[in-house]
Amino acid sequence: MAFSLDIPTASVLKSEARAMRQAATERGEQLSQSAALEAVAKAHGYRDWNTAAAMLPDRVRTPVQVGDRVAGTYLGQSFRGLVLGLSILPDMRHFKVTVKFDQPVDVVTSTLFSSFRQRVTATVDVHGVSPDQTSNGQPHMRVRKI
């Protein structure tokens, strides 16, 4: 599942709690901020506010943004390119990033044949490093903004 507005941050839940509290005040009811936070957390499927706050970041940190010029390595080959797509994975710590290389990259180490790629999609963490590795232990992709 890709990141969307359906996956709120802690800040969004806090805003919902403030709105809930304001609506209660307008109806002449009293609702504490902590009760509103608890209600909003439960409405989003969390056991309580503390659980929601621990699981949801205030902001989602990303290694790069769509449209960024980037550099790095892919399967051991250096590249420069443009980020075409970025989506957050459900664990909220890894991203699918799609990069269009300025120049095609040969992803085969054999001298007998070549296989060039110009657009690739890989999983990276918040530091832009792929958790997947090649047989020699190197990350599939390292990407950074330039």
pLDDT of residue 3: 40
Nearest Cα residue to 117 out of 101, 130, 140, 139 = 101
pLDDT of residue 8: 72
Task: Give the lowest-confidence range in 51-55, 58-62, 99-103, 122-126.
Answer: 58-62
Residue-range domain boundaries for the chain: 10-55, 69-145
Q: List pLDDT tens digits, range 83-113.
A: 999 998 877 789 999 999 999 999 988 889 9
80 has a pLDDT exceeding 70? yes
What is this structure's pTM? 0.62
Indicate the SS3 state at residue 13: helix
On average, the pLDDT of the chain sits at: 89
* Alpha-carbon distances of 112 from 108, 115, 118, 136, rounded to whole Å: 9, 11, 20, 20
The residue among 52 and 123 whose pLDDT is bigger is 123
pLDDT of residue 54: 84
Between the two ends of the chain, the Cα-to-Cα distance in Å is 28
Q: List pLDDT tens digits, range 29-49.
A: 999 999 999 999 999 889 999
